[in-house]
């Protein structure tokens, strides 16, 4: 067997489960396809749940490879979730139970013969660099390491006759993943377990059964496991932003609205291309981010903004959303004018916004109304627009 390289640490992510409890409760989730997707592939902050764990290991300097164990039916879903992750080894298929899936993953790594293995649940997306580092540090002196958290609830043990006993809370801990092990120790424990009828709920219990001491490090409260549909909702925080803009007409032959060129006998006056709809939407996004307004980021004093395509402003705002690990949930945009008529171009506007923001069209609404001949829009002196958007952020971000 080849010698393992110094400090070679491999992450083994178990992603072969079907998540029946999650699927049963997913009818209350906001995503239309929630019940059709295993929880590890549910969308979270603009990416599949599994991808968040993959990125955590990808970005840690001491992790050399990532081995993912998947269900055979999920090959296409996994291809999307792992896109751009360079440390991933070819995925392998898991067994009927979690324990069997971990064993398949361990066997697949025998040629690499790693020093340490970190076994992680795919349904724990909020994995931090600090937690990985704490586990790796403890593995320098111990063959088995688990992250734990204290209990805040009283725990009772109930017997068959319905009598109960209160357990000492100060001695009980909640166990998380990733769980770290000396690779050889965990592989041997799984090989021994093949002759046993019972299975173990986690790998620490398995090695403990065969006499290996398990030590603990401090876990992370954010490192929750998604078990039911409501868990996914609880990891998100929703914020709403609104935006408004107006531009007067001037001589011209078209107006730009939502990035769509609409033939007309006038145009809108402005420092940029005067796309009043995109300006309102950009301000709505910045409002949800508490990031100021479009004039603050693209001042008129900057000559580079003269006649600038307003799609640049919207893409800039969308990039700010991505930087905060958030995603735009929906957009409601209203264009206010007597003319030109918006309805013939409405669907094209929706398509254009969907393309710019990489969003589904069914989350974008573009409407038009008039002010019944009142005010400057009623006198056909210009066009106004107002926008509302909801953005989902990681809770506590």
- Is the distance from CB of 118 to CB of 13 less than 8 angstroms? no
Rounded distance, CA 359 to CA 366, Å?
14
Which pLDDT belongs to residue 234? 56
What is residue 23's predicted lDDT score, i.e. its pLDDT? Answer: 47
Predicted pLDDT of residue 161: 84
Q: What is the dihedral of CA 315, 320, 325, 329, to 10 degrees?
A: -60
pLDDT of residue 325: 77
**pLDDT digit of tens for each residue in the chain (397 aa)?**
445 455 499 999 999 987 544 444 444 444 444 446 888 998 887 789 999 999 999 999 999 999 999 999 999 999 999 999 999 999 999 998 999 999 999 999 999 989 999 999 999 999 999 999 999 999 999 999 999 999 988 888 898 888 889 988 888 999 999 999 999 999 999 999 999 988 898 999 999 999 999 999 999 999 989 876 555 655 678 899 999 999 999 999 999 999 999 999 999 999 889 999 999 999 999 999 999 999 899 988 888 888 899 999 999 999 999 888 788 999 999 999 999 999 999 999 999 999 999 899 999 999 999 999 999 999 999 999 999 999 988 765 5
pTM to 2 decimal places:
0.62
Q: 21: helix, coil or strand?
A: helix
DSSP state of 83: T
Task: Name the DSSP class of 150.
Answer: E
Residue 44, C-beta contacts closer than 8 angstroms, at least 6 positions apart = 52, 125, 232, 235, 236
Where helices occur in 167-275 by DSSP H, the ranges are 183-193, 203-209, 229-234
* Interatomic CA distance for residues 30 and 232, integer angstroms: 10
Token pair listed for 244:
């408004």
Listed residue (85, 83, 90, 89) closest to 59, CA to CA: 85
**CATH fold for domain 9-234:** Spore Coat Polysaccharide Biosynthesis Protein SpsA; Chain A (3.90.550)
Domain spans, the chain: 9-234, 236-394
Phi-psi region of 292 (alpha: psi -120 to 50; beta: other; left: phi over 0): left
Backbone angles phi, psi at 338, to 5 degrees: -85, -35
**CATH class for the domain made up of 236-394:** alpha beta
Tokens of 324: 């905060």
């Amino acid at each position: 067997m080849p010698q393992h390289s110094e400090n070679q640490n491999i992450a083994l992510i178990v992603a072969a489960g079907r998540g029946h409890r999650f699927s049963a409760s997913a009818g209350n989730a906001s995503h239309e396809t929630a019940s059709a997707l295993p929880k590890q592939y549910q969308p979270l902050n603009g990416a599949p749940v599994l991808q968040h764990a993959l990125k955590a290991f990808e970005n840690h300097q001491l992790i050399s490879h990532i081995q993912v164990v998947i269900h055979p039916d999920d090959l296409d879903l996994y291809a999307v979730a792992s896109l751009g992750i360079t440390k991933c080894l070819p995925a392998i298929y898991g067994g009927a139970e979690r324990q069997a899936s971990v064993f398949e993953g361990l066997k697949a790594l025998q040629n690499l013969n790693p020093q340490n293995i970190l076994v992680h649940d795919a349904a724990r997306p909020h994995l931090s660099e600090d937690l990985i580092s704490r586990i790796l540090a403890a593995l320098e002196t111990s063959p088995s390491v688990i992250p734990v958290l204290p209990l805040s609830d009283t725990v009772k043990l109930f017997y068959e006759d319905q009598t109960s006993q209160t357990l000492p809370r100060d001695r009980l801990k909640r166990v998380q993943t990733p769980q770290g092990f000396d690779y050889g120790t965990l592989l041997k424990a799984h090989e021994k377990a093949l002759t046993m009828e019972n299975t173990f709920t986690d790998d620490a219990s398995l090695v403990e059964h065969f006499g290996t001491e398990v030590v603990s490090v401090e876990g992370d409260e954010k490192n929750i496991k998604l078990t039911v549909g409501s868990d996914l909702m609880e990891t998100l925080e929703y914020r709403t932003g609104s935006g408004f803009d107006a531009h007067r007409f001037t001589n011209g032959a078209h107006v730009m609205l939502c990035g769509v060129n609409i033939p007309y006998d006038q145009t809108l006056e402005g420092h940029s291309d005067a796309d009043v709809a995109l300006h309102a939407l950009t301000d709505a996004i910045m409002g949800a981010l508490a990031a100021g307004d479009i004039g603050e980021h693209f001042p008129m004093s900057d000559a580079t903004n003269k006649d600038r395509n307003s799609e640049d402003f919207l893409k800039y705002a969308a990039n700010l959303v991505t930087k905060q690990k958030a995603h735009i949930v929906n957009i409601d945009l209203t264009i206010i004018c007597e003319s030109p008529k918006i309805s013939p171009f409405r669907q094209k506007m929706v398509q254009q916004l969907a393309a710019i923001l990489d969003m589904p069209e069914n989350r974008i609404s573009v409407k038009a109304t008039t002010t019944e001949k009142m005010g400057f829009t009623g006198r056909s002196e210009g066009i106004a627009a107002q926008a509302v958007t909801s953005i989902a952020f990681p809770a506590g971000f």
